[in-house]
Structure 1
């Protein structure tokens, strides 16, 4: 399985704003609409990526654990749905239902949002602070499909805890690995 690393996106960068349709509700949201009081987790995912399928149970647990603490959570699919129909808005809705994703799952049809975030892989994980500045851009944990390391979300959980409890990050931020975004 081909692996693509996340690009470097400088810490402190202000979250690019957007207006995208949520495939769960059919409402249109901006970053401003979805951000949390303590920070915001932005995830670029794809329905058919083995790395996403591997990570989604932990992503759901993290969302459920931290939304009640003021963390906004949203996912974006930027894959070309013409050449990859399994990533169409209808299939995104079905994927969200199957995996119990109850936070916004937004469709980036133009791929402009992925370009603004310099997203390169799925999952690509961005954690912004309450001032919308990038606090963490890295991996969920060391687990990958087939490497026998248990899924824990430890790297992302440590970053969220540091953000919420106003601590400095102790561990270096490792780039995430995943499927490359399918560009038009």
Structure 2
């Protein structure tokens, strides 16, 4: 399996907009299946995670990521998962399979499908998982790894993300070292691989 690193979007970047269908629209009772960046304006912190169903690196952190999302929800942190993998070539990452996964694991956050892959391109996402943490003005304050664990190693704990969230909520800035995330490359549709992922 070829490993890919996060491109580490420049800190201070504004969160690119999105409007995507949720595989689990019931999770936040917003009335329809579409979710947009502005739906989460009230959140103190927004965490956008590019992820998928089949990647062993996502599977490795999945339970710990769900724990982080649940633990920080009461502090005003909103997590949004986005799957940008080509569902034609990777049917495990299809919309129906995404919905199954949210039910199986009781996802506490919306899991959105970026079928056109335009949102992944806007965020310059390269791997799964790829994490972006935006402050209350939706300015990028942290991007990088979830923690220092890997599949077939120690159990995931999310310490890097937790430290970033704690600092952002307490001090409004992040000083923790930001290390690129590592995982499977996003599965781009044929002839759609962007320059940042070349």
Aligned partner of 2:185 in structure 1 is 180
Alignment of 1:94-173 (within 5 A): 94-146=100-152, 148-166=153-171, 168-173=173-178
Task: Report how many aligned residue pairs link the two structures.
Answer: 183
Aligned partner of 1:30 in structure 2 is 36
Query: Does structure 1 residue 65 correspond to structure 2 residue 71?
Result: yes
Secondary structure of the residue aligned to 1:10 is: coil
Secondary structure of the residue aligned to 1:165 is: helix
Structure 1 residue runs without a partner (length 5+): none
Aligned partner of 2:8 in structure 1 is 8
Structure 2 CA distance for partners of 1:176 and 1:48, relative to 1, 3 Å = same
| Contact 2:70–2:108 (CA under 8 A) maintained in structure 1 | no
Aligned partner of 2:91 in structure 1 is 85
* Aligned mate of 2:49, from 43, 47, 50: 43
| Contact 2:22–2:110 (CA under 8 A) maintained in structure 1 | yes
**TM-score under structure 2 normalisation?**
0.89
**Cα displacement (A) at 1:170:** 3.5
| Contact 1:38–1:163 (CA under 8 A) maintained in structure 2 | no
RMSD: 1.2
| Contact 2:86–2:187 (CA under 8 A) maintained in structure 1 | yes
**Cα displacement (A) at 1:24:** 0.6
Stretch deviating more after TM superposition (118-127 or 20-29): 20-29
1:18 & 1:169 partners in 2: Cα distance? 25
Structure 2 residue runs without a partner (length 5+): 26-31, 190-198
**Cα displacement (A) at 1:36:** 4.5
| Contact 1:36–1:71 (CA under 8 A) maintained in structure 2 | no
